[in-house]
A and B are shown apart, each in its own frame.
Chain A
Amino acid sequence: EPEVTQTPSHQVTQMGQEVILRCVPISNHLYFYWYRQILGQKVEFLVSFYNNEISEKSEIFDDQFSVERPDGSNFTLKIRSTKLEDSAMYFCASSEGGPLATEAFFGQGTRLTVV
């Protein structure tokens, strides 16, 4: 069964460092998303991406964040200068036809710990 894969599963970084979280969406999906979940809190939307550009982003997705699809398979989230409050599970998701079609399938997540 096709699945969304994320690497690494756990990333520890020092405050102020840049991190890149990687995702391989399901191959025939066209819409890609990043969500985060701070421990014990709800899943929060960060950004959606379609046709090589951001289609929607939340207030959380400020100038410290960027996304990229560097090739035909990977989808990355970069945090330029990490803060302690960026510590969370980051989930990548993809969907076939966008929000109006099938719902998004989530990856296993990357646990980011900023120390």
Chain B
Amino acid sequence: QKEVEQDPGPLSVPEGAIVSLNCTYSNSAFQYFMWYRQYSRKGPELLMYTYSSGNKEDGRFTAQVDKSSKYISLFIRDSQPSDSATYLCAMRRGSYIPTFGRGTSLIVHP
């Protein structure tokens, strides 16, 4: 089993939809959970950063961590065409280097 699993998609939604992006992981020692957005041929850009379980909200974005299920989610409300990108989850334990998921390609069509 891979340490971090993420469905590559593509996930195609209409503008205005609520988007749910997810990752599962196998290492229960992960404590820090990140979501990055990556536009085509660009570097990853940090969107959300959470520690341990719970929710974190930032504008239209909400990150959820369920450590008991080893499952993390990113919700995007009122999705826009400009949200079209690849979304990477990443997670790490303590001071270790993060492990990335493969990324989910999101397409928001007008």
Binding site for B on A (CB under 8 A): 4, 33, 41-45, 48, 56, 58, 89, 91, 93, 98-100, 103-109, 111
Contact = CB atoms under 8 A, between A and B. Distances in A.
A98 B101 contact: no
Interface in B38-96: 41-46, 49, 88, 90, 92, 94-96
- Which of B43, B88, B99 has the largest count of A CB atoms less than 10 A from its CB? B43
A102 B88 CA distance: 17
Interface size classification for chain B: 20 to 34
Given A48-B97, A99-B95, A109 B42 contact: yes
Interface of B: 34, 36, 41-46, 49, 88, 90, 92, 94-103
A108 B95 contact: no
Contacts of B102: 41-42
B45 A45 contact: no
A43 to B, nearest CB: 4
A107 B38 CA distance: 11
Given A42-B100, A43-B88, A98 B46 contact: no
Contacts of A107: 43
